[in-house]
Every structure is written in structure tokens, then in C-alpha cells.
Chain A
Amino acid sequence: EPEVTQTPSHQVTQMGQEVILRCVPISNHLYFYWYRQILGQKVEFLVSFYNNEISEKSEIFDDQFSVERPDGSNFTLKIRSTKLEDSAMYFCASSEEGSGWGYTFGSGTRLTVV
């Protein structure tokens, strides 16, 4: 069964450092998303991306965050200057048509900011 692949599975970074989280969505999917989950809290939407541009972003997704699809396969989330409160699980997801049933989530990257 096709999977969304995320790397690394766990990243530790110092406060103020830049970090890039990587995702390989399912190959025929057109819509891409990032969500995050702080330990013990809800899964929160960050951003959606379609046709090489951001479709929607949440209040969390401020100027410190950016997304990119640098080639035909990767989808990245960059945090420019990490804060302690950025520590969370970050989930990438993709869907074929944007319909709610078609979402496939990756297994996540656990980001720890120290």
C-alpha cells in the first residue's frame, strides 16, 4: 500500500537553529499538508499546498515557517529559528483530490528543541 514517508523520525535541535523536515508524499497525490501535535494535545493544521502554492495556513504558520516542493517528489517544512514551543510531532499528509477521505498521513517527525 502506498505510504507517505517522513524523515528523520526524530530530530533534536538547539533553540534558534533552522530545521528542515522532509516528506515524500504518495506519487499521484496533488494536495499536500503539514499538521503538528504537541505532546498530549490535539492534532493541529499548519498548512495546505496545491499547485505549487500555499492554499491555506493556520495562525501557527507564521513567518518562521515555510514549505517547499523542490522537485517532483519531496515536500519540506522549514522552521527558520526554532523555539522551545516548536517541540512537537510533525505529520505530513497528502491526498489525491483534496477530499477528506483520501488523506494519507506519514508516521511523523518528532522535533525536540533544546
Chain B
Amino acid sequence: DAKTTQPPSMDCAEGRAANLPCNHSTISGNEYVYWYRQIHSQGPQYIIHGLKNNETNEMASLIITEDRKSSTLILPHATLRDTAVYYCIVRGYFGNEKLTFGTGTRLTIIP
């Protein structure tokens, strides 16, 4: 089963930063944290990943705690199109290892 724990739902006002937490207390040293999202019933979309350093790309920022037991995905200026289910996934970097999806966090952006 999924190795992560996320709140089932969150709301965020449009234009504000959305901060989505994830606990992964059993993460092992060679495992990365990945974030994907699923808008409505579309295919999941990759957002960002990281090992131990904070990461930023054009979509989001990822903050990983020093002990690597939790992380936060930050959408800096949320728009209505960011309404989706967000999945935090832990897995190794290479290889054919599958992605194991949990129930994720349903983020609703409020106008």
C-alpha cells in the first residue's frame, strides 16, 4: 500500500499559496518524493520530485524536511485550474518500479 499520508481535502483561495502536506515517515535513503495531480478524470500529471533538497520548477516548489519524514508541495499562486487531486508518492528513482497512488488530497481553489 501507499507509504504516504495526506489530508483528504483542502481549500485555498484563488491567488493565494496552496500548501499541501505529506507524511512519509518510513521513507528509505534511496527513495524520492514525487508529486502528481489528477484534474477531474484525466490522466495523472507529474508536478515535481525531490530527494532531500528543496526543489522548484515552473509549476511548484517542494519542501522536504531535514529528516525526510515529511514534505510540502507549494503552489505559489493558485488558480481555479489547480483544482485537482494531488498525490504524494514515494519510490526509487530508476527502474521500472510502479507508482503507487494513495487517495491523495482533493484541493479546491475558491474564487
Task: Give the B-binding residues of A (Cβ under 8 A).
Answer: 4, 31, 33, 35, 37, 42-45, 48, 50, 55-56, 58, 89, 91, 93, 97-108, 110
A30 to B45, CA, bound (A): 19
Q: Majority SS of interface residues in chain B?
A: loop
Which B residue sits closest to A103, measured CB to CB? B46
Task: Give the A-binding residues of B (Cβ under 8 A).
Answer: 32, 34, 36, 38, 41-46, 48-49, 87, 89, 91-103
Q: Majority SS of interface residues in chain A?
A: strand
Tally of A-B Cβ pairs under 8 angstroms: 66
Which residues in B have their C-beta under 8 angstroms from that of A107? 42-43
Which residues in A have their C-beta under 8 angstroms from that of B42? 107-108
Which of B34, B43, B45, B103 makes the CB contact (< 8 A) with A100? B34
Which residues in B have their C-beta under 8 angstroms from that of A108? 41-43
